[in-house]
Structure 1
Amino acid sequence: MALWLYRLGRFTFRHKWSVIGAWLAVLIALGAIVGAVQPKFATDFELPGTDSDQAMTVMQENFPAINERQLEATTSILVAADDGLANHMQQIDALVADARDLPEVIDPQTVVNPVTAAEQNPAMAAAVLGDDGKVGLIQISQNIPMQDLTPADMEQFKELLAEHRGDGLQVEGTGSLMQVFEAGGTSELLGFAVAFIIMIVAFGALIAAFIPIVTGILGVGITMLLVTLSAEIINLQQSATTIITMLGIAVSIDYALFIVSRYRSELNLDANLEAAVGRAVGTAGSAVVFAGLTVMVAVAALGVVGIPFITQMGVAAAVAVFIAVLGAITLIPALLGAFGRFAFKPRIPGIRHGDEPDSQPSNGLRAARFITRYPLPVAIIGLVLLAIAAIPMTKMELGMESTTDSEYEATQLLQRGFGEGINGPLLVTVSDAEGDVATAAGDVVAHVKTLDNVANPAQITWIGNGQNPANTQSGATAALISVTPEQSPSGPATHELMEQIRDFAATDPDGATVNVGGQTAIMSDISDKLSSALIPFLIVVVGLAFIILTVVFRSLLVPLIATVGFLFSVCATFGATVAIFQEGDFGIIDHTKPIISFLPIFLVGVVFGLAMDYQVFLVTRMREEYVHGMSAKDSVIIGYQHGARVVASAAVIMISVFAAFMLAPDTIAKMMGFALAAAVFFDAFIIRMIVVPAVITLLGDTAWKLPGWLDKILPNVDVEGTAIREIPLETQVDPDLWEPEPAKV
């Protein structure tokens, strides 16, 4: 492979303008096609094989109007006054009048002052007025799909609340208008800015720092357009695109950074630019290909979870990584050819430029000598630190909810006046295609009324799909029962309530099929599937990655060290995340939450791939030096000296990109950003740059041993570039293209 990539690098260098033009043409063509076709992302949600998905199917077939209503925007306004809402009638009436003017409100006359509604219909007073008349609920339904709401709609709603808040009246909101997804941009721009600064430091030159940024923008743009266009062909949800920007930018910059750094190093040996590019792509490019393959395996394996939108996210991420690898081995050498001798101009004084001789002291060389001198205590200290950080993981609680921090005050009022579950009802379906469901539906209603955590059990009834609008229960073959929990929709009590209904359904003697659906049940089922899929996912990812790394390093112990080290770093990440976001340590966040159920499996998939990136980048150079005659200890020192600067730069870029998401106002976004940044820090700086070289030093020659029978089976991919080293150096160079500068002594 190394020789093939060497030739590819030289080819793209010679045909630079054609290659750059081809990339730009693909980007423009895809943009034009997407603009012309205007593909639409799917709005339906599926959880194959789950009880909530079966309930959704029953609702789609028998209660289509209600099912459609579930997809439309519904928002609640909570009003509260310690002196009683009756003392603020004029203020509440003005609020109601303005709320009726929101876009596409369904039947504005249903948006009413809760005090007035309670007086006109005392039987329903408990549903709109609580806490002895001190808390009121105003419900708003809009004929707008939830995903079509815009940030402008959310801002208009927040301004409405603020306008009528005051003079002793508290006005808060929760629901669809408070959960609008705001398009990113700030975090990505901040990540690019930090990445650019870090690459200036890494290369000591301005132009070279631009090259990874250019490849990242082109790669992410092409991937986003490809995935968007595929929505025209397959049932694709927009959530599949959320991972592309974050992961695509990160790996594109990482891979470009690695190849450009190796190219800078090769120029010390071969002043011919084309030959140096070929050698860089042949050696570093081999590591990039296998690192990218490992990441693709890790994210594509999200398909084992069995949730379509997560599978789509994994596939989209794999496409982003594939485009990043393709850009690294084709677009990077073309850009280096286009910039020619200006690639590392202007040189910034006072910064190491990466072209110093190996004998010149550097921080990487000093660190490598220290680690190899005291490998056992270094490895033990690193692992003990991670083990201590992992201790809070034993308290981890998983949950899944859609409420944001801006809804916190409203949910507190809901809990105070009506119970938190009012906005998260369980939708129970009873179906029997061959008979009347009246008896079965009555049994379910009677049983639900006996359960704990049910709000207003006396008011629970069922509606049917009968043909008589005045009496839908007559002749119904399907029934729908709305059950409102008293406690939080995402809490354990509501999950237990849902399971109690499902357990009763399993023993119902009337033969009807009973399912529990609705958003609350869907979230619960997602959480269960994610939890149950974590171990199989780990087995698939670790197993396939172990095979890939065994092929790359031609060793069993090195891949084993890499995998075990990752488990330490990911456990430390879970521990730190639990301590800060669930337990509230250090006072960093205002509102503690359970760890979002999606986080563990997402973190394992993304960070395992990135961890193996750093493993390949750092350790392939060690193996390269060992294969070409260096002792086991010296190969670690030289490999570390050459790779540490690049790995550290790449890790800092990753940490900056992920940490930028902590600037978001929402705790869940902060949690995701923190966990990813912490995982990269623990894995890159403690496992890859401290523990792994220390353990390899301890093992000595044994680290690179491979059983003879396995050596015959495994393909030799020549990641260490043995075939390239046999190619004579081409020291002749056009002075207009390159001006080698003497190294400082």
Structure 2
Amino acid sequence: MAKYLYRLGLWAARGGKKVLLGAIIILVALGAIGLTLGPSFSNELTIPNTPADKAAKIISQEFSQPGVQAAKIQVVFKAPDGETLESEKWQKVMEDTITGMSKAPDVALATTPMQLKNLNMTKQIGYGEVTFKAAALDVSAETKDVIVHQLDAARAAGLQTEARGDIQITEGGEFPVEVIGIIAAFVILAITFASFLAAGLPIVSAAVGLGVGMLGIVIASSFIEVQSVSLSLAAMLGLAVGIDYALFIITRFRQQMAQGYTVQESVAIANGTAGSAVLFAGVTVVIGLLGLSVAGIPFLTMMGVASALCVITTVLVSIIVLPALLGWMGHKISPAKGKKAGSSRKSGSSKKQSSSKWGTFVTKRPLLVSFVSIALLATITVPFTHINLGLPSDGTMKSTDMTERRAFDLLTEGYGVGVNASLVIGAQVANPTEATAGDIAKIKDEISGLADVQTITPPFPGPSGKLYLMTVMPKSGPDDTKTKDLVKAIRDLSSRTQAENGIELLVTGTTAMNIDIANKLNDALPVFAALIVVLAYVILVLVFRSIFIPLKAVLGFLLSLGATLGFVVFVVQDGHLNSFFGFPATSPILAFMPVILIGILFGLAMDYEIFLVSKMREVYAHTGDARKAILDGVRDSGKVVTAAGLIMISVFIGFMLAPDAIIKSMGLALAFGVLFDAFVVRMTLVPAVMSLMGKSAWYMPRWLDRILPNIDVEGESILHEVEKTKKKSA
């Protein structure tokens, strides 16, 4: 592989302008196609064939047109203090508002609070409903504009008016948070390279790769269902790895320049050596992301595929377009400091070189450093033991600047927290008889007697007489574990009613669906985690030709993963430092976060492991000195890994500033995941543990070494060829 990348880098460097022109043409073509088709993203996070999903389909077939799931919103009104919505003045405002909304193109039916007779006990709060002719994705922007206009008109009249439901009312006006990460990355790169030109190249390379990947996702959204959160996650990850991968290649390019190679030779060698590590590291990230499909959850699979696409495009740009950029303007980039031009790579490694202060500190006290690192990560992991998984609601994941959140709060104020956690119960009768109505009434009384039930509506029979509909309002909110227990209790009751009366209880509604999705994701987590751990071990055995170093790497990954999840629970769920990080309220942890975090953090952790330990392996292969290998690895690769980690963190922190709490929580998890893994595990625990292990760290049974393929990540083969070529030409 290294030889092919060497030739690819040499070709790109020699034809730099042609390669760059080709990249621009591809970007423009994809942009034109993307603009023509337009984006079409979904905001729904659903899983087909869960109990709640099956129940919703059965109820929909009985009470509405089969296959049609029309969108609906609630329009919530609150009268000023000391007044009620029953006054003639406010009734007219509500009627005008709802009537105005009914005239929007996609609205099928609109009702006022007075028509629904659902004012709260104080008569100060009530809500109307607007039902659309189509599903949420098909509601036009024109209809949304009409709704927003009517909300503003009601507020101007003095009546607080908010809306929430299946369609998103609050849109646009978001600051491009990617810019913050890019600015921070540029500053870090400028300090690392001591050159603005060298600092700008990784950002240009990452921007091209990200642009191609993002445009590909936009185009794909016109043909398949892609969630909007997939685009944000792909942008976050593609930008971070794109800058990091370019950093690794440019660093090696400057080292080769310092050793007296020409620009084109330096580009080719950098592409064959660091490019090999980039390609292999990118493959590990892609494997982790595509592994999300193991869970069998469509929206999670799409998140992985979209992110993997961006990683693939950034890797390709790093090994094709970046060499072209370096071949074109590489002569303007200063060589790496600290190495004399003309010194060969081999002779340079044989001379006694100074070690980094950090490497010396760690290797002199490996036992103490190992104990402190493990103890720190284990302590941070503790909150993970009481993690509560769930899906976002308007009350936990949206800020008070959004009308959806304000509507949620008004409903809670007027009707209690359970109003936002309503459960739809369908009582399905196998063989209706004269006693069926009485049996349904008894079941209704049993449900009302369950713990956490606040109210339950009378059973309403469907046209066929085989399905009765009830709505349960819990005492607890949609994110409360008591609501989960209530759903389980009703389903447990169904087992008995089926045996006694032939009546099955179907539980659905948004809250029940979210609970089922969380349970499904929770069940998939152990399988996915086991797959990733085994895969990581096998890959690293191939790379490092050792059975103990990969074991250490995997255990380190588990430590950083546990600490990351523990810290996220500490902040998001337990509420510590909540306002500091800008979260609107405490909430359960996103049900899909642990799975996504495992996939992404696995890839990033293996990136740092490969870039750090591959240098150690190179030195150990030449000298047989385990301690020197550690010191040289920390000295030569530590600065790059540190810069890469800081860049990753900066990009993810930028996404933490997003108003969308889903993106914010993912940014928090990934930022601190990289912090724990890059700096506590890879830069501290890895050299400490390897110091304790000594030469045994590199143990590999001879029989296993013979049968495994040799993956030349460092590109040693091409370096030997280059040295021979230089000697012959001399």
Into which bin does the TM-score normalised by the smaller protein fall?
0.7 to 0.9
1:421–1:51 CA distance, 2 compared to 1 (3 A): same
Where does residue 425 of structure 2 map in the other structure?
428
Matches of 1:338 and 1:437, distance apart in 2: 84
| SS of aligned partner of 2:446 | coil
> Is contact 1:81–1:135 with CA below 8 Å preserved after alignment?
no
1:302–1:158 CA distance, 2 compared to 1 (3 A): farther
Where does residue 673 of structure 1 map in the other structure?
667
Where does residue 697 of structure 1 map in the other structure?
691
Where does residue 298 of structure 1 map in the other structure?
288
2:474 pairs with one of 459, 475, 485: 485
Q: Which residue identity does 1:461 align to in structure 2?
A: P
Where does residue 402 of structure 1 map in the other structure?
393
The one-character-per-residue Cα deviations of 1:93-119 (angstroms, maximum 9, x if unpaired) are 43553454344584776224x5xx5xx
Matches of 2:45 and 2:668, distance apart in 1: 28
Matches of 1:198 and 1:332, distance apart in 2: 19
> Is contact 2:546–2:698 with CA below 8 Å preserved after alignment?
yes
> Is contact 2:76–2:125 with CA below 8 Å preserved after alignment?
no
Task: Write the mapping of 1:176-575 to structure 2, written as runs, cut at 5 A.
Answer: 176=166, 180=170, 182=172, 186-344=176-334, 365-403=356-394, 404-406=398-400, 410-429=407-426, 443=439, 446-451=442-447, 452=450, 453-457=452-456, 459-464=457-462, 472=463, 475-476=464-465, 480-507=469-496, 508-509=498-499, 510-511=501-502, 514-575=505-566
Q: Which residue identity does 2:616 align to in structure 1?
A: M
Give the Å deviation of 1:200: 1.3
The one-character-per-residue Cα deviations of 1:494-516 (angstroms, maximum 9, x if unpaired) are 22222223223333145566532
Task: Write the mapping of 1:92-241 to structure 2, written as runs, cut at 5 A.
Answer: 93-94=92-93, 96-98=95-97, 100-102=99-101, 103=104, 106=107, 110-112=111-113, 114=114, 125=117, 127-130=118-121, 132-143=122-133, 145-147=135-137, 148=139, 159=152, 163=156, 173-176=163-166, 180=170, 182=172, 186-241=176-231
> Is contact 1:502–1:514 with CA below 8 Å preserved after alignment?
yes
Matches of 2:268 and 2:65, distance apart in 1: 63
1:558–1:96 CA distance, 2 compared to 1 (3 A): farther
1:237–1:665 CA distance, 2 compared to 1 (3 A): closer
Q: Which residue identity does 1:421 align to in structure 2?
A: G
Q: Which residue identity does 1:499 align to in structure 2?
A: K
| SS of aligned partner of 1:654 | helix
> Is contact 1:59–1:66 with CA below 8 Å preserved after alignment?
no
2:654 aligned with 1:664: no
Q: Which residue identity does 2:2 align to in structure 1?
A: A
Where does residue 343 of structure 2 map in the other structure?
none
| SS of aligned partner of 1:628 | helix
Q: Which residue identity does 2:305 align to in structure 1?
A: V
Q: Which residue identity does 1:419 align to in structure 2?
A: G
The one-character-per-residue Cα deviations of 1:682-705 (angstroms, maximum 9, x if unpaired) are 111111111111111221211111
| SS of aligned partner of 1:198 | helix
> Is contact 1:411–1:420 with CA below 8 Å preserved after alignment?
no
Q: Which residue identity does 2:575 align to in structure 1?
A: G
Where does residue 649 of structure 1 map in the other structure?
643
1:153–1:323 CA distance, 2 compared to 1 (3 A): farther
| SS of aligned partner of 1:186 | coil
| SS of aligned partner of 2:721 | coil
Question: Identity across aligned pairs (percent)?
Answer: 35
> Is contact 2:110–2:128 with CA below 8 Å preserved after alignment?
no
| SS of aligned partner of 2:325 | helix
1:272–1:631 CA distance, 2 compared to 1 (3 A): same
Q: Which residue identity does 2:254 align to in structure 1?
A: R
Q: For structure 2, list consecutive stretches of 5 or more residues without a partner in the other structure.
A: 341-347
Task: Write the mapping of 1:586-601 to structure 2, written as runs, cut at 5 A.
Answer: 586=577, 588=580, 589=583, 591-601=585-595
| SS of aligned partner of 1:401 | coil
> Is contact 2:98–2:111 with CA below 8 Å preserved after alignment?
no
The one-character-per-residue Cα deviations of 1:18-67 (angstroms, maximum 9, x if unpaired) are 32233233323333344445575578875244212222432454444487
Matches of 1:422 and 1:19, distance apart in 2: 59
Give the Å deviation of 1:578: 2.2
Give the Å deviation of 1:155: 6.6
Q: Which residue identity does 2:643 align to in structure 1?
A: S
2:633 pairs with one of 623, 627, 639: 639
| SS of aligned partner of 1:720 | coil
1:364–1:193 CA distance, 2 compared to 1 (3 A): farther
Where does residue 13 of structure 2 map in the other structure?
13
Superposition CA RMSD, Å: 3.4
The one-character-per-residue Cα deviations of 1:391-428 (angstroms, maximum 9, x if unpaired) are 23233322223212325554444334323333443333
Matches of 1:362 and 1:341, distance apart in 2: 27
Give the Å deviation of 1:333: 0.8
> Is contact 2:46–2:517 with CA below 8 Å preserved after alignment?
no
| SS of aligned partner of 2:623 | coil
Give the Å deviation of 1:537: 1.0
> Is contact 1:399–1:491 with CA below 8 Å preserved after alignment?
no
The one-character-per-residue Cα deviations of 1:358-389 (angstroms, maximum 9, x if unpaired) are 89999982212222222221222222222222
Matches of 2:481 and 2:441, distance apart in 1: 22
> Is contact 1:437–1:479 with CA below 8 Å preserved after alignment?
no
Moved more, 703-712 or 510-519: 510-519
Moved more, 278-287 or 486-495: 486-495
Counting matched residue pairs gives 699
TM-score for the superposition, normalised by structure 1:
0.85
Matches of 1:629 and 1:437, distance apart in 2: 87
Give the Å deviation of 1:237: 4.3
> Is contact 1:445–1:462 with CA below 8 Å preserved after alignment?
no
1:629 pairs with one of 610, 623, 631: 623
Give the Å deviation of 1:292: 1.1
| SS of aligned partner of 2:474 | coil
Matches of 1:234 and 1:542, distance apart in 2: 31
TM-score for the superposition, normalised by structure 2:
0.86
1:95–1:380 CA distance, 2 compared to 1 (3 A): same
Q: Which residue identity does 2:233 align to in structure 1?
A: I
> Is contact 2:277–2:611 with CA below 8 Å preserved after alignment?
yes
> Is contact 2:163–2:169 with CA below 8 Å preserved after alignment?
no
Q: For structure 1, list consecutive stretches of 5 or more residues without a partner in the other structure.
A: 118-123, 348-352, 465-471, 733-745
Give the Å deviation of 1:707: 1.2
Matches of 1:317 and 1:647, distance apart in 2: 22
